[in-house]
Amino acid sequence: MALATLAPHRAISRAVPDTDSQWWQELDLIGSLRDQWSFLIAGFSRFSRNDPNPALTGGAAFFTWTHGALAASLGYLHAQVRLPDSGSRLDADLPIAAITGTLKSGPFSFSDRLRIEDLIGVPGDPWRYRNLISVVSSPTGFGLEALAISDEVFVDLTSGRLTRNRLLAGPVIGLADRVDLSLNYLNEHDVGGRPARIEGAFVVLAIRL
């Protein structure tokens, strides 16, 4: 899911390095419902080299309706963020709506996800738009389920500014019949924020129920 740091950018009272190394982890439980409906329940946390830890913790639930190459999702996310300047906690709740289009060609799958969310609890109660473009290939051999790369941009709808760009890339490993492990390199740039760049790893364990 790649769920963003929610705290707004603002002047801070202590020096914060321009670049931070972080470790992100997520557990996804995925299940099918009747007809074309499915659900996703996720728990996640993030740890920083420089900021108060855990930098972010939370959970989310999504319901998705799929018809052919299109999928529409509604969800709700709750997160607790540690503010870099003081270490105090910010609680945020995000109602989320998204639509995803997917195109398959040979061993490749291309998708474009359009997502809008309301950051309730963040000062100003801003709305945010996110656009995620992904490419997934299905290689044979080496025990890999897939190789994936994605790039996501974040836009503050209040100001109309591009605020974040996030790149993820890495393999998906099949651990069992219904269990996959995604190992991602993470590179995120926050416009006007501190840290301005985050580099690290994002590990996702997905279990299909």
pLDDT tens figures, 43-61: 999 999 988 899 999 999 9
Under the banding of pLDDT at 50, 70 and 90, the label for residue 32 is: very high
Average pLDDT over residues 108-137: 96
Give buried/exposed letters for 14-29 (b at 16+ CB in 10 A, else e). Answer: eeeeeebebbbebebe
pLDDT for residue 140 is more than 70: no
Q: Which domains does the chain have, with CATH numbers?
A: 19-208 (2.40.128.140)
pLDDT for residue 14 is more than 70: no
Answer with the residue of higher pLDDT: 192 or 76. 76
pTM as predicted: 0.87
